[in-house]
Chains A and B, each alone.
Chain A
Amino acid sequence: MLRASVIVFPGSNCDRDVQTAIERVTGFAPKMVWHGDASVPSSDVIVLPGGFSYGDYLRCGAMAAHSPIMKDVVTKAKAGTPVIGICNGFQILCESGLLPGALLRNASLHFICRDVFLKVENDQTFFTKCYREGEVIRVPIAHGEGNYFADSETLDRLEGEGRVAFRYSNEAGETTADACPNGAQRNIAGIVNETGRVLGMMPHPERLYEKALGGTDGRRVFESMLLSTLEAVA
């Protein structure tokens, strides 16, 4: 059994994609929770989906981070409920303080929508345990503000604690500057919090979870959340 809740903000547009991905991959349909609600139902996983919450007003994710539901998301995350933020969800996690750093405009100023290669840096987290450290996967990105920024002290800490989950790389797994689509510092595509139970990532695993979509490399994010949940119960 996997009880997942997908938070729906005004302007979310990947909420139904991730709903379908979770249901198809795990066999358990998530609950859809409106941002104006005061609390999230008891959940094994909370998902902050991609999109353009509140039209990206002020800063991407800034308004959503202060919407009514987020107080409870923050409380539950701090108490140990796993949370994944994809794309705009990653921006919301940073704006709400659950993850360090911020996501700036892409260095090219272009909105980029294409598949990229990612190197798996940590296969021990709640959401990545079905991957293998060092493997290269192909997942799409679709963002204008995915340029991860944090001060060098924070970056050193993230790396030192193994909290970089995914880095942009080339097909051979080399994390070169050329392989970084958006200018993100140290090619960072996804990070986790101190416990490895809150993941923010710019790429969209829910867009490549079965062959009919053109690839399956995103699938294991959802398999990982199911496996991690089942292991915790066992």
Chain B
Amino acid sequence: MKAHIKITLKNGVLDPQGKAIEGAIKGLGITGVGDVRQGKYIEVDLSESDPAKAKAIVEQMCKDLLANTVIENYSYEIG
């Protein structure tokens, strides 16, 4: 199984990189662009085949290492 993990900054946490990206997109002459937020995407191969156990493993790695829950949210799909 593979976990596809997305990590994003929480709402309310300033994202200066997102702001810079927003400015660069607008610099391309593209219109209709609003707020830009950037984050991380992480893929993890898992040997566990039981979906419930795999979820518990991914939950633990997100909470303890991959995301800093003071500033970041995480979400994932396992498949």
Interface 1/0s, chain B 20-57, versus A by CB < 8 A? 10000000000000000000000000000000000000
Residues in chain A near residue B66, CB distance under 8 A = 58
A107 & B70 in contact (Cβ 8 Å cutoff):
no
Say whether A75 faces chain B, with CB atoms less than 8 Å apart.
Answer: no
User: Given A58-B65, A66-B65 in contact, is the A108-B16 Cβ separation under 8 Å?
Assistant: yes
Chain B residue with Cβ nearest A185: B14
Give the complex CA separation of A151 and B17 in angstroms: 20
A102 & B17 in contact (Cβ 8 Å cutoff):
no
Count of residues in A whose CB is under 8 Å from the partner chain? 20
Say whether B75 faces chain A, with CB atoms less than 8 Å apart.
Answer: no
Say whether B71 faces chain A, with CB atoms less than 8 Å apart.
Answer: yes
Give the complex CA separation of A102 and B14 in angstroms: 12
Choose from B13, B20, B65 the contact partner of A149 (Cβ within 8 Å). Answer: B13
For the A-B complex, the count of residue pairs with Cβ-Cβ distances under 8 Å equals 35
Residues in chain B near residue A149, CB distance under 8 A = 13-14, 70-71
By secondary structure, the A interface counts as loop
Say whether A162 faces chain B, with CB atoms less than 8 Å apart.
Answer: no
Interface 1/0s, chain A 34-60, versus B by CB < 8 A? 000000000000000000000000110
User: Given A62-B65, A62-B68 in contact, is the A109-B14 Cβ separation under 8 Å?
Assistant: no
Residues in chain B near residue A94, CB distance under 8 A = 70
Chain A residue with Cβ nearest B13: A149
Interface 1/0s, chain B 56-79, versus A by CB < 8 A? 000000001110101100000000
Residues in chain A near residue B71, CB distance under 8 A = 102, 104, 149
Chain A residue with Cβ nearest B66: A58
Choose from B17, B65, B68 the contact partner of A105 (Cβ within 8 Å). Answer: B17
A105 & B16 in contact (Cβ 8 Å cutoff):
yes
User: Given A104-B13, A104-B14, A149-B13 in contact, is the A109-B70 Cβ separation under 8 Å?
Assistant: no
Say whether A106 faces chain B, with CB atoms less than 8 Å apart.
Answer: yes
Residues in chain A near residue B65, CB distance under 8 A = 58, 62, 66
Residues in chain A near residue B20, CB distance under 8 A = 109
Give the complex CA separation of A62 and B65 in angstroms: 7
Give me 9 A-to-B residue pairs in the complex whose CB atoms sit less than 8 angstroms apart, sorted by A's number: A59-B68, A95-B68, A102-B68, A102-B71, A104-B13, A104-B71, A107-B14, A109-B20, A149-B70
Known: A66-B64, A100-B70, A149-B13. 18 other contacts (CB 8 A): A58-B65, A66-B65, A95-B68, A101-B70, A102-B68, A102-B70, A104-B13, A104-B14, A106-B16, A107-B14, A107-B16, A108-B16, A109-B16, A109-B17, A149-B14, A149-B70, A151-B70, A183-B14
Query: Interface of B with A (CB < 8 Å)?
Result: 13-14, 16-17, 20, 64-66, 68, 70-71
Query: Interface of A with B (CB < 8 Å)?
Result: 58-59, 62, 66, 94-95, 100-102, 104-109, 147, 149-151, 183
In order of increasing CB-CB distance, the 6 nearest A-B pairs are A102-B70, A102-B71, A109-B16, A107-B16, A102-B68, A105-B16
